[in-house]
Chain A
Amino acid sequence: MRRTVLFLLIVQGASFAQPFIFNRGISNSASSLPFGIPAGTIAQGSIFSIYGRSLGPATGVQPSAFPLNATLSGVSVSVTDGITHLNAYPVYVSTSQVNAIMPSNSPLGSVSVRVTVNGITSNSVPVRIGPASLGLFTALGTGAGPGIIFNYISAAKQPLNSLTTPAKPGQVVTMWGTGLGPVTADNIAPTAGNLPIGIEVFVGGKPAATSYHGRSPCCAGDDQIVFQVPVDAPAGCWVPVNVRLAGTAVSNTVTLAVTSDGSSCVTSASNPAKAFIQGGKIGLLAPLRADINQSAPNSPLDLRTDYLVARFGQEKGGQLAFNPLVSLPPAGTCTAYSGPGDWFISANLPNLAPSVKVLDAGGGTVTAGGKSGTYLAAYSPLLLGYLGSSNPANTQAGDTTLLGPGSVKIQIAGGADVPAFQATATMISPLTWTNQSQISTVNRADDLQLTWTGGSGQTIAAVGGNVDVITNSSGIFVCVASPGATSITVPALMLANVPEGRGSPQYSKGAIFLVGAGVTGTFSASGLDQGFLVPMYLTGKAVAFQ
């Protein structure tokens, strides 16, 4: 008898482990943006995701009918600001993830969220609640890349926008998100109708006319935005789309494939993006010279560093293929990325890692100008293989840079997936960032213009952003200049989700880079389906974002 009782206790203990929410483990279900990003706010009435362990049943459970209950399969979610206590409505529960609807009457500001599983309550994790903060759903589920956008052809024919089913300028599309704002009841089938908030949709920076922005009648917490692709929208496989609410709050940026006639999106054969769409084993090599102006406490510091950017990976490809490295916005436009982590250390942008697996090609040695530099293999997920540097403030260290104009010989040591091989590139001439000295502080509410000289024949991009160290959040913009242009304007729209600086390099890492890329060459190596070689030059500066 006693043995039986003991057994029952053990079983019970195993079944009801303490639920635990990961710190910073709550975000908008669509955007996945972290707490430290302006759009990381959870909107009243929106669907949010809670990540952790022992949060619910081993197999995911969803409700089968309205009205939604405060408890689903023994799982409930509480929201409190210390005074007001409310229950969210779970719409998906599993051991590692719970999705729930933030009550429309949730208190604004900071609240703490807890999950209770069969009577056992988790730790609490703070989130910030706002009246509206839109997250746009994406096909890859990361908050970046192709959006969940349906091309409207007829009521019965609304295919998902993709590289093989792009939209045409002027076509009406329906985009899905969550966070347009509160409604009168969260747990019943929503009533269709526009929500009372100002909304602007931008496609490649062009404003789009909207015809609906409100809950989807099908699904609690889900919002639909119906808009017309602007007739002057740029064509491209990955045209940025984002939404601004009430003139200020900007959503995550997703992409929309746009072609003039709605036919499949095509990139040139020399564009590495084509290989990523096709899928396979792809190598990218980019000898890179970086000239960075870093503001030291007392005097500016100019650092020159040479790298070999090396990336070897196997890609899945397909009509929803996306990688920030090659899925660039159309020339003359900008896109934006935000997410958790310190991207100036890890470059851990969403979808940057190979979609199938990393390929091991070992380290490498680069020889140029009578010098050589060697790096060891590493992947994080984009390897910046350090080759050499010069620092005027530290003359004792000497000048070990090697990537001057001229030929560059690259010897890859080889690894488990890619054997040793060689490639040769020609370095490009450097750009001159002409208004660099005028930019030390960036006001995110204003457009930012960058000007340069040089770079003829190069593809020129502007990349910038900030890392909010203490919330471990990063936000960047990426702009591609039109061919032959000598300036580009970064719209405030693309600066909105760059975290604000905190006035100290200890807490913030703001920087802007102008990048020139030469004509893409190719290389062949055993173990790779395709190899691309792109000489690059970068000039950058540490700045403060306000």
Chain B
Amino acid sequence: MKHALWMLIVAGSAALQAQNPNLNFLNNEIAQQIANMEALFGNGPTVVTGNMGPMPNGGECTIQIKVTDKNTGLSYTYTVPTVSDKLCKDYVLQQESDGSFKVVPKNDPAQSLQQDLSNLQQLLNFLNGLGGNLRTPGQTAGPQEPRVQRGIKPQQARDSTAGFPEVLQLPFAPPLAAGVAVTSSNGCDPGQTYLYFRVNHFDNSVTRYDGCPMQITATIPIVAPNPLQAALTPDNSTLIVTSYNQGITFINTTTNQVTKTITTDPSVFPAGIAMRFDGAIAYVVSLIDQNPVVLVLDVQKQQVVGSIAIPVIYPHSVYFSPDGTIALVTCPFANYVYMIDVLTSTVSSAVPILDPRDIAFNPTGTLAYITSGGYPDSIKVVDTATLTIVDSYPVNGYPGLILISRDGRDLMVLDLDSTNKFFIDLATRNTVTISTDVAGGAIVSVP
């Protein structure tokens, strides 16, 4: 019953997906995964093989890339699940002369491109880590299996004089959504207002859903490319969207019109965003290795009013405590969570956590639940008073997005390694794993 309080908005819902093709991104991801797997074998000789087609048991269309160490015979396999049958029909996985693999059209796919892309979007949303053995739907990665190291040795943020910044392949995690959502299966109340915005990273838009059950009511184009995360003001009047390619977009939710787009400095790569409880300020994280910062937005004035330097590379997401006095910034590449004193806009302290991704505060702000991809994968519980890890909830997967129930008793965690979602009863420590047919996406609560 209490699970009825939760729901998923899954990115893979074909009817709700993006419209434009982006095979380049898929191919870049495949190349990146190959590089990651090769890196695990050091610089030794490897053999890379690939396959695209229905699973051997006749199931869904799948892409598999295998990297084998010539010296030891050990191998890593990268599997992209839930590819559309039409993709298998109209595209092939082709090895290029340089040894790389690319998905290319088998024939003219123009007439079916829109359909394919809606599924490709689902696939791409799943490619959200720097590595990992992705599983077919319903499967869970076993903890004994080789894993690509996601967190890397802590690195100090580099100064801009050190060369060009290393831009990440995105989305590094599923694009985030904002709002309150419901579907008919949740027994929604027609008298209530439900509002949900989904960020479409690959077609530069935001999709709005309203009603009971929810339906698409608007698709709002975003000028700034590659939107990633969104945050609503407490009165739901304004949606702020970050775009990795130097944009912060303000949308009037009454008119569904963009009211302002801030083009950020070229050195800033907006990613995570958080809105303080009073809606006065928002923080935007620049996901980059050189001079990473957290931008301070004056929400009312729709201006950047300050920036807070983050001392390590690639700060990813930011979260305000419920009372808005502190904010926590996850830095998965540096294996740290940084604390910001909101009043003075300064980095206050830090706590080391392997591959921290996302954070949920309990209602009183005394505890922060932080998803950690460091082996063994777990939810770290940080006492925000002492900034120490006081507990840990292991999960059999790669914990990504996390949400806490309003009564603070349950967690819901999205597995980045599979299509699984985890429900954790914090008191009993019972974890229920729910296998879904779709991966990635965002998690939101139902009032």
Contacts and interface: CB of A to CB of B under 8 A. Distances in A.
Interface of A: 20, 22-25, 35-36, 53, 80-82, 110-112, 122-126, 297-298, 341-342, 469-472, 506-507
A126 B325 contact: yes
Interface stretch (B44-52, B118-126, B358-366): B358-366
Contacts of A110: 343
Contacts of B385: 22-25
B341 to A, nearest CB: 4
Contacts of B406: 506
Given A469-B364, A470-B364, A36 B323 contact: yes
B32 interface: no
Contact of A342 (B343, B348, B364): B364
Given A82-B344, A470-B277, 16 more contacts: A20-B349, A20-B386, A22-B385, A23-B384, A24-B385, A53-B386, A112-B343, A112-B346, A122-B349, A123-B387, A126-B341, A342-B364, A470-B364, A471-B322, A472-B365, A472-B366
Contacts of A507: 322, 363
A112 B364 contact: no
A35 B344 CA distance: 17
B280 to A, nearest CB: 12
Contact of A82 (B321, B345, B349, B384): B345
Contacts of A80: 344
A112 B366 CA distance: 19
Contacts of A341: 364
Interface in B98-157: none
B377 to A, nearest CB: 27
B81 to A, nearest CB: 37
A452 B339 CA distance: 51
A506 B341 contact: no
Given A23-B385, A53-B386, A124 B364 contact: no
Nearest to B339: A123
Nearest to B306: A82
A489 B363 CA distance: 33
Contact of A471 (B192, B323, B339, B384): B323
Contacts of B322: 469-471, 507
Interface string B11-43: 000000000000000000000000000000000
Interface string B404-435: 00100000000000000000000000000000
Across the A-B interface, the 3 shortest Cβ-Cβ residue pairs:
A470-B322, A472-B364, A123-B349
A82 B343 contact: yes
A80 B341 CA distance: 12
Interface residues of B, number: 28
Contacts of B339: 123
A471 B344 CA distance: 19
Nearest to B361: A470
Contacts of A125: 341, 348
A81 B343 contact: yes
B53 to A, nearest CB: 49
A123 B327 CA distance: 13
Interface of B: 189, 191-192, 277, 321-326, 339, 341-346, 348-349, 363-366, 384-387, 406
- Where chain B touches its partner, the secondary structure class is loop
A22 B387 CA distance: 8
A123 B346 CA distance: 9
Contacts of A36: 323
Nearest to A36: B323
Contacts of B343: 81-82, 110-112, 124, 126
A82 B305 CA distance: 14
B286 to A, nearest CB: 22
B89 to A, nearest CB: 49
Contacts of B366: 472
Contacts of A111: 343
A470 B323 contact: yes
B344 A112 contact: yes
Contacts of B277: 470
Nearest to B192: A297
B386 A22 contact: yes
A125 B345 CA distance: 12
A469 B363 contact: yes
A53 to B, nearest CB: 7
Contacts of B349: 20, 122-123
Nearest to B385: A22
B364 A298 contact: no
A126 B345 CA distance: 11
Contacts of A472: 323, 364-366
Contacts of A471: 322-323, 364-365
A428 B360 CA distance: 45
B364 A23 contact: no
A297 B406 CA distance: 15
A469 B364 CA distance: 5
Contacts of A506: 363, 406
Contacts of A112: 341, 343-344, 346
A111 B366 CA distance: 21
A110 B192 CA distance: 37
A126 B342 contact: yes
Best-buried of A25, A123, A125, A297 by chain B (most CB within 10 Å): A123
Contacts of A22: 385-386
Contacts of B325: 23-24, 35, 126
B425 to A, nearest CB: 16
A20 B349 CA distance: 8
A472 B341 CA distance: 18
Contacts of A20: 349, 386-387
A297 B193 CA distance: 13
A298 B190 CA distance: 12
Contacts of B365: 470-472
B352 to A, nearest CB: 13
Contacts of A25: 385
Contact of A123 (B191, B324, B348, B364): B348
Nearest to A109: B343
Contact of B341 (A24, A123, A297, A342): A123
Nearest to A18: B349
B363 A470 contact: yes
7 contacts: A81-B343, A82-B344, A125-B341, A297-B192, A469-B363, A470-B365, A506-B406
B191 A23 contact: no
A4 B107 CA distance: 73
Nearest to B348: A123
B24 to A, nearest CB: 43
A80 B346 CA distance: 12
A450 B345 CA distance: 47
A22 B390 CA distance: 14
B387 A124 contact: no
A342 B324 CA distance: 18
B186 to A, nearest CB: 15
A124 B346 contact: yes
Nearest to B447: A297
A24 B325 CA distance: 9
A35 B323 CA distance: 10
B206 to A, nearest CB: 25
A23 B387 contact: yes
A341 B365 CA distance: 10
Nearest to B322: A470
Contact of A124 (B191, B323, B348, B363): B348
A146 B111 CA distance: 83
A126 B326 CA distance: 9
